[in-house]
């Protein structure tokens, strides 16, 4: 019997970092397969996880819960048949509804020998209120259906932690909430089977925080609510130019970029680029590439092209 674990979380919450830490504590003799779903055209996170030495199945350009639902179910069944792994770790796209991913796993369980053991959700404390206010349909679903919730960016934003923990209880009164750094968590405890007791939590009103995204909850599918655009650079892209590009995107009134990730070539080395609102980081990497994937709302390809061209000219 193959055990399945879902690692959910909104865009840029820290799902891949969580998985990297989890994998360090899994016994080497266990056979693990990772299913990596990316809403964008290029699966950046699959490349990162492949470096850990595990089998990674990438599902790109869509969401498990909608456009590639059947493809995901088939992939799950095929993986169990082909590899007979001890564990399958699923990282859905950040705009996937956890409830829909759970339904897809249930469908696969009716076909092949596997069981859903745990559903985790990663929550970035620094972005919590903005995401609740503007993308509640997706964000709240991930929280409500989690067995365990792990807070990220806690050390960088300790002032938000207590408030976020209190607010999370309004959505999910049963899930265990972890605020430890990912590297300090005992994953043997975390991976143990969850209680089968169903949670009946009531939803309460929340304080609203302004956000320039101007997004309202009228859609039910990720492909309707979010768009993605990938830029491939023909020439080297410096860190300075990338910073300038991101700042320019933040100033565009009609476009809201929620996530950017990719690899750029600067001289003779490569940099991993990661962005969520007001947070941009660069890190040297052995991975090669020269691209950036953008995910957001009201993404206008032509405006973005014009913005990057004005910076590179």
First to last CA, the chain: 57
Domain 2-190: give its CATH superfamily.
P-loop containing nucleotide triphosphate hydrolases (3.40.50.300)
Contact by Cβ (8 Å): 199, 259: no
| Annotated domain spans of the chain | 2-190, 226-312
Same fold, 2-190 and 226-312: no
What pLDDT, on a 0 to 100 scale, did the predictor assign at position 15?
A: 96
- 172-227 pLDDT, tens digit each: 999 999 999 999 999 999 999 865 445 555 444 443 344 444 433 434 466 678 89
Token digits for 240?
A: 């300075």
| Segments in 197-277 forming alpha helices (H) | 222-225, 239-251
Q: The pTM is what?
A: 0.88
What pLDDT, on a 0 to 100 scale, did the predictor assign at position 67?
A: 55
CATH topology of domain 226-312: Hypothetical Protein Yjia; Chain: A;domain 2 (3.30.1220)
3-state helix, strand, coil in the chain (%, to 5): 35, 25, 40
**Nearest Cα to 11, choosing from 148, 127, 141?**
127
Overall size of the chain counted in residues: 313
CB crowding 63-84: b at 16 or more within 10 Å, else e: bbbbebbeebbebbbebbeeee
Q: What is the mean pLDDT of each run of 10 residues along the chain (313 residues)?
A: 97 96 94 90 82 84 62 90 95 92 93 96 95 89 97 94 96 96 95 66 44 42 80 94 96 92 96 95 96 94 94 86
What pLDDT, on a 0 to 100 scale, did the predictor assign at position 205?
A: 42
What pLDDT, on a 0 to 100 scale, did the predictor assign at position 63?
A: 55
Burial label for 271, CB within 10 Å (0-12, 13-18, 19+), is buried
- Phi, then psi, of 8 in degrees rounded to 5: -95, 170
Q: For residues 309 and 93, what is the distance between their CA atoms, to the nearest angstrom?
A: 29
């Amino acid at each position: 019997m193959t055990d399945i674990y879902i690692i959910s979380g909104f865009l840029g919450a820290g799902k891949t970092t969580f998985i990297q830490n989890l994998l360090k504590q899994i016994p080497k003799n266990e056979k693990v397969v990772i299913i990596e779903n990316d809403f964008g055209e290029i699966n950046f996170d699959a490349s990162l996880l492949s470096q850990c030495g595990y089998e990674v199945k990438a599902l790109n350009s869509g969401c498990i819960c909608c456009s590639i639902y059947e493809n995901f179910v088939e992939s799950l069944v095929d993986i169990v048949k082909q590899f007979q792994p001890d564990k399958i770790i699923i990282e859905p796209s950040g705009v996937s509804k956890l409830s829909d991913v759970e339904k897809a796993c249930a469908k696969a369980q009716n076909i092949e020998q596997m069981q859903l053991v745990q559903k985790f959700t990663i929550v970035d404390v620094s972005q919590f209120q903005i995401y609740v206010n503007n993308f509640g349909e997706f964000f709240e679903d991930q929280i409500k259906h989690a067995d365990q919730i792990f807070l990220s960016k806690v050390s960088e934003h300790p002032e938000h932690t207590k408030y976020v923990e209190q607010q999370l209880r309004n959505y999910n009164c049963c899930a265990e909430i972890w605020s430890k750094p990912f590297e300090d968590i005992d994953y043997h405890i975390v991976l143990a089977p969850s209680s089968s007791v169903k949670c009946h939590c009531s939803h309460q009103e929340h304080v609203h925080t302004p956000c320039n995204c101007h997004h309202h909850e009228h859609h039910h599918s990720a492909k309707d609510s979010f768009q993605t655009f990938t830029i491939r650079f023909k020439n080297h892209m410096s860190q300075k130019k990338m910073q300038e590009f991101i700042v320019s995107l933040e100033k565009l009134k009609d476009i809201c970029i929620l996530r950017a990730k990719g690899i750029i070539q600067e001289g003779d080395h490569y940099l991993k680029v990661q962005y969520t609102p007001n947070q941009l980081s660069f890190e040297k990497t052995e991975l090669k590439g020269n691209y950036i994937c953008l995910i957001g709302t009201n993404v206008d390809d032509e405006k973005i092209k014009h913005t990057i061209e004005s910076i590179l000219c």
